[in-house]
Structure 1
Amino acid sequence: MNLPLLYCDHSASTPPHPDVIRTITEVMEQVYANPSSIHQAGGQAEQLIRRAREVVARALNVHASEVIFTSGATESNNLAVFGTARAHAIDGKPRHMIVSEVEHASVYECYKQLGREGMDITYIPVDKNGCVQPEQIEAAIRPHTIMVSVMHVNNETGSLQPLAEIGSVLSRYPKVSFHVDGVQGLGKVPVDIRQWGIDLYSLSGHKIGGPKGSGILIRRREVPLKPLLYGGKQEHGFRPGTENVPGIVGLAKAIRLAAEGQPSNYEKLVSLRERALKQLRTLKPLVNNSPDIPLAAPHIINISFPGMKSEVVVHALEERGIIVSTQSACSSKMHKPSRVLLAMTQDTSRASSGIRISLDASCSERDIARLTEAFTEVTEQLRPLMKR
């Protein structure tokens, strides 16, 4: 019997929301002029972008002038990290930046490159729950520190970072910018950019039911930043190039829907998560890598089967119509132990056998039952093949 596909890889990408698809289609059919053109058709496109910017600003409680539309969170994170480094490189003085060891590759690799270029970088370790400690960040700050990067929700384990506490610490250091990769947070857990003192906040459309190739960087108006690209003056001069009008409008709708749905989504996801973990914890030799609520966002469960190859488990589940993943989609094809799990556990076996289940509020209790039954079948099938 062919069962319908059960998609449990929402942290890698989400199906676009039907309202977002309709909106993008309408814009593509009706508004195709260049927003920079001076004629009426161009003005219509420009007005759509202006409205989209206002929708995003209201949803995130920021000023519309602080919203920069990009091609996705990778570009937003690169703009935040390299743009800050460039903005402070003009006078030639030494500069120092701080980043957690468990950041997404689109942040972590930026810091690695800056380190190769001579930037002084401090990498902050995490505890067994995958969380950084605010006091460690404060201890690492130096007179020439210019930025701290700490993500909101870890994309592999769901670990929730103490952003409010970190923001409180950094409020005592006004020259240090606070950058947050918020990709896995919006729509799943509360977000308060202004209250937490966040200066630079990145978001990706396709993680929240929006279109691929769309994202934002929120930049507090006083924060120094240099563009990565040069050309026109679009996006306040920080992101030149003709704007993707349909993508921007679709992204704005997705952000609004995600923000509005977050409270009810949270309660449902917590219930689904607990139901799944109750059954999964009975499996041997399973180890749970995700912390418990409230130290984790509710939509991500990361488990390891030490001695089993995670790729084999993933493909065995796929044969049963269930889609999960190993690491971040950006890293999963490298076939290396998870950098995030190594930082948390210092255990190569666990880091090499991690599996990520990422849920959505559209999932049902029946889906969770099917998921856990499939895991039971697969682990029983593969246990005799385990490395001893």
Structure 2
Amino acid sequence: MRSTASTWAFTSRRPRHLLAATAAFLSLTFAGAVWPQSAAALPDGTDDTSSVESSNAQVPVGVTAGVAVFDRQTGTFTEQLNASTQFRSASIIKLLLALDFLWTRGPDYTVPAADRTRLNAMLRSSDDNAANHYWSHYGESAIVNRMTSQLGLTDTAPPPAGQEQMWGYTATSARDTVKIYRYLLDRAPAPVRDLIMGNLRQSTRCASDAFDQHFGIAAAFDRPWAVKQGWSGGATGFGPGTCGPASAASAPADVSGPSAPTAASADLRRPALHTTGTVGAGDRSIVAVFSLHPDGTSYGKAFTDIGRLTRSLTVPGASVPSGKWYGTWSSGVNVREEPLIGDGNVLTRLPAGVEVLVGCQKKGQVVSVPPYTNEWWAYLPQYGGYISNIYISHPDNQLPDVPLCSSQQ
């Protein structure tokens, strides 16, 4: 999420002249358009703007988090922590970009082939070029104002005046994100729901900018899940992405946006990592976790911390994957199809220092990183491949609490 996206959110009260201009824009541009069943009135009577918070979330030291978990079966929140706190949205705004575009396609919601390609890339692989297209062609901040009004969002605000082109400056909260998903699942027309949620269920591990986006929800729980993630390196940047084979990891360094005016309710500098979506059969739980990390935090460390936070949450309907979590060291560690070194068997590369789930281990080719050698390899079920145990942060060559792989693995 770089380009105009990987920056900061900005919060402010919208001046009256902006509200009036937005209203005029709506009346001119969408005359006669009907947005089905405004989400301001929730069908089950649940007040999801409640300020009462309760959470068992284990927030890593130095991390600032906003959390909301909503159980659609009971109509209640199981987790709320700083649920109304505003964070810079990064690519979570892409949910609103998609919704806003589809609004204009009613009543049959036919999507041209070119737009379907853009939407698929934007929602599955968080493609920034697609987001730039919708932001610039459909009114920039007016998009946020339209969606805030139509969905009854209370904590979402557009970028500041003079920086309207920076869609990553949009501010939002965990509870507003829950509202967006509740609209999608319970009130959106079927074609809208199917297009957006269908793409989120097909989230690609490697985003279009070569960052591994299967952190948080995607790493903490077994499928079925659907996710839309967001990341922004802040003032110091996350560096280049490494996801995919080495030849694919050519994305430029994370681009920090210009300094934005400070707002008391939104941190504009620290690295951000957000995980949102649904978990469990029938999309039982909606999960929104927003996080800010200390300046200089690596992507692998932020990836690990939001993973630990997400795994600590009470998420009804969730299934936890089996295995043991271990830290890794070194950068650009290859995940391979088989436990041997070869140019053609690299599946992807890990973020530096990230924590991984190890399902089993087996002997393979001896790997040497002086003064160490190791013939044991760890199978990572969430990646479908192996890394040498030499890169696992454990003093023993063979991990003591991990079973041997079967002959099929």
Normalising by the residue count of structure 2, what TM-score does the alignment of the two structures yield?
0.27
- For CA contacts below 8 A with separation 6 or more, give which structure has more relative contact order: 1
| Greater share of residues in strand | 2
| Greater share of residues in helix | 1
Normalising by the residue count of structure 1, what TM-score does the alignment of the two structures yield?
0.28
